[in-house]
Structure 1
Amino acid sequence: MRQRTRARVLAAAEEEFTEVGYVAATVARIAARAGVTVQSIYSSWGSKSALFRAYLESAIAPGTERVDFSGAISPGHPREVVSQIAHLFRAVAERSGPAWRLYRDAAAVDPEIAADWQQLQMLRRGTFDILLQSVSDRDLRVARPVAVDSAWAIASPDMYELLVERATYTLDAFEKWVGETIAAAVLRVVQE
């Protein structure tokens, strides 16, 4: 599938999934919205659940075939590294908050999506492991696995939903909270 057509299908999928949710969404309506055949969607993605995953990935990292955050953080002072992580997470959350919520909700009713959601959570955890590689063990106040788990929990889709969508934090306030909370949880010395 050509890139333009793929982008149209993913935009149509976003509209369909956002409007009616995963369970009620149909590949036929997505195809009609995108101006393609149902068969072309199945040929490219294989299933509605695979298309749903592609929609989530396109929300996280638009315009790419794969989500990859290696190299996203520049080495520096541990506090600066954590600030970069908070900024990166804010950008991802801003783009993909609704998609995360739809995926989580679909996981509650579809075993295939539930298994994929669990895998995605482990991939997200692995991403925090990669992002925290720029912080040396001597700068951590906790063991590295605990630091990774802490960042993974603090900078999570659930925290984004709670603080931005429910408690009405601005994105700037949310980014600041994520950075300060991760720093307080994992860094040996937090310097202003």
Structure 2
Amino acid sequence: MSDVKRTSKRAQKARETRRRMLAAALELFVQDGYGATNLQDVAARAGVAVQTIYFVFGNKRALLKELVDVTIAGDDEPVATMDRPWYVEALAAGTAQDLLRAYVTGATSVLERVAPIGKMLDGAVASDPEVAALWPHGVNPRHVVQQRAAKALVGKPGARPETPVEEAADLLYGLLSPELYLLFVRERGWPRERWERWTLQTLHAQLCSD
């Protein structure tokens, strides 16, 4: 076997092990809470030595940070949200209506993954104040994502005339929030399709001219 093939197999095995550890952490953090879960629990669930978790992630907080990043992205590829194909394609749509349609569909897929970990994250911050430092105050990454989408939207044919970018960004930020998604889908039992349809109709009424 060539050195290249051996290296490729090792890299693939390492990636699979990393994914297994992240999946175990997600299950236990959501099920038992971040504070109540120790790395020995995660290691046992993932079928690895606890030293492997320390070697790969460094500590429990770093494991949580990567878990959140991967959950938002939907995979472990090092690609930022604003460089993701669904986001780029949505913003490249020819009209405001088409942009909103593609954007709401893509954002709903993200919410479907992210919303269930919101309560766990709140508990993590409460049990370990240093967790909050993983996401510095001042710049809200989710608002930055919505602001770029809003800027693209208001410049498209079919956008409501003279809608300020900040207003459009606030509407996207509020209506496409994990909190609102959980309220309707988990608490009130709306199917994803109903949520997506309602959100699109509401944003369309506020941001489009027809």
| Structures share fold, TM-score greater than 0.5 | yes
Q: CA deviation at 1:176?
A: 1.2
- Residue 114 of structure 1 pairs with residue 132 of structure 2: yes
Normalised by the length of structure 1, the TM-score is 0.86
What's 2:148 paired with? 130
| Structure 1 segments of 4+ aligned residues over 6 angstroms from their partners | none
Equivalent position amino acid for 1:154 in 2: L
Question: Secondary structure at the residue paired with 1:24?
Answer: coil
| Partner SS state of residue 82, structure 2 | coil
Q: Residue 89 of structure 1 aligns with which residue?
A: 107
Hey, what does 2:98 align to over in structure 1?
Answer: 80
Asked whether 1:177 is paired with 2:195, we answer: no
CA contact (8 A) 2:74 2:110 kept: no
Task: Please point out which of 27, 36, 49 is paired with 1:24.
Answer: 36
Alignment CA distance shift 1:180-1:107 (3 Å): farther
Query: Is the 1:59–1:95 Cα contact (8 Å) retained in structure 2?
Result: yes
How far, CA to CA, are the matches of 2:138 and 2:185 in structure 1? 22
CA–CA separation in structure 2 for the residues paired with 1:171 and 1:59: 18
CA displacement 1:67-120 (0-9 Å, x = unmatched): 423314132210121111210111111222212331133234432223445659
Task: Check the 8 A contact 2:115/2:179 in 1, yes or no.
Answer: no
> Superposition pairs for residues 25-174 of structure 1, below 5 Å?
25-66=37-78, 67-70=80-83, 71-73=88-90, 74-116=92-134, 122-137=140-155, 139-140=159-160, 141-174=162-195
What is the deviation of 1:19?
Answer: 1.6
Identical positions, percent? 29
CA distance in 2: counterparts of 1:40 and 1:142, whole angstroms:
52
2:164 partner amino acid = A
Residues 56 and 100 in structure 1, CA contact (< 8 A), matched pair in contact too: no
Any gaps of 5 or more consecutive residues in structure 2?
A: 1-10
Tell me the amino acid that sits aligned with residue 167 of structure 2: V
Aligned length: 189
Measure, in 2, the Cα distance between the counterparts of 1:96 and 1:111.
21
Partner secondary structure for residue 125 of structure 1: helix
Separation in 1, partners of 2:108, 2:116: 14
Bigger Rg, structure 1 or 2: 2
Amino acid at match of 2:82: F
Unaligned 5+ residue runs, structure 1?
Answer: none
1:5 aligns with 2:14: no
How far off its partner does 1:31 sit? Answer: 1.1
- The alignment's TM-score, normalised by the length of structure 2, stands at 0.80
Post-superposition offset of 1:13: 0.6
Mapped partners of 1:180, 1:172: distance in 2: 12
Query: What is the root-mean-square deviation in Å for CA atoms of aligned residues?
Result: 2.3
